[in-house]
Amino acid sequence: MKAATLAQLKQELKFRSSEDLEALCLRLARFKKENKELLTYLLFEAEDEAAYTEHIKEFISQRFEEINTDSFYYIKKSVRKILRETKKFIRYSPVKETEVELLLHFCYELWEFKPSIRANTTLMNLYGRQIALVRKKVGTLHEDLQFDYMLEIENLPLN
């Protein structure tokens, strides 16, 4: 089965009643965890972006505390998973500042992680790529925000 285009879906949704739309949303939420998370963000957290950002920062910090430090293999695997989850949460929000805030927090947590990532080339490269991504994203923001975030980036080690 070939999926319909976004324009076709939008056109079809215009003709549906509010009860039908509610049923479709609930059915979508049943099938995939990401759909349910996105719906949760849109319904409950989109109005207060600052609280959403803080909630995700706490989530990131908690995940870093739970990392198995027996070997760098487990550390790399866990850090990649945290980054993947962080980027998933970034996709839910249309606010660009949220993306920069969460990536900066991820970088801070990664740098402060013990054992130090300096002993592992892969983790250092991942850290460097995220710093470069943050710099690129900051360039798209308002000038005042750019200045504030660039100061934060300059305070990061090995930027």
The pLDDT, as a whole number, for residue 39 is 87
Distance CA 155, CA 134 (A): 13
**Weakest mean pLDDT among 54-63, 90-99, 150-159:** 150-159
**Contact status, residue 22 vs residue 52, Cβ threshold 8 Å:** no
Amino acid 159: pLDDT: 56
> For the residues 36-42, what does the mean pLDDT come to?
89
Q: How many C-beta atoms lie closer than 10 Å to residue 133's C-beta?
A: 15
Average the pLDDT over 14-25 and give the result.
89
pLDDT value for 29: 85
**pLDDT of amino acid 35:** 87
The residue type found at 52 is Y
Q: Tell me the mean pLDDT in the region 86-99.
A: 94
Delimit the domains of the chain by residue range.
Answer: 16-47, 49-155
Compute the distance between CA of residue 100 and CA of residue 69 in angstroms, rounded to an integer.
Answer: 27
Contact assessment for residue 52 and residue 97, using Cβ atoms and an 8 Å cutoff: no
Q: Which residue did the predictor score with more confidence, 32 or 64?
A: 64
Predicted TM-score of the model (pTM): 0.87
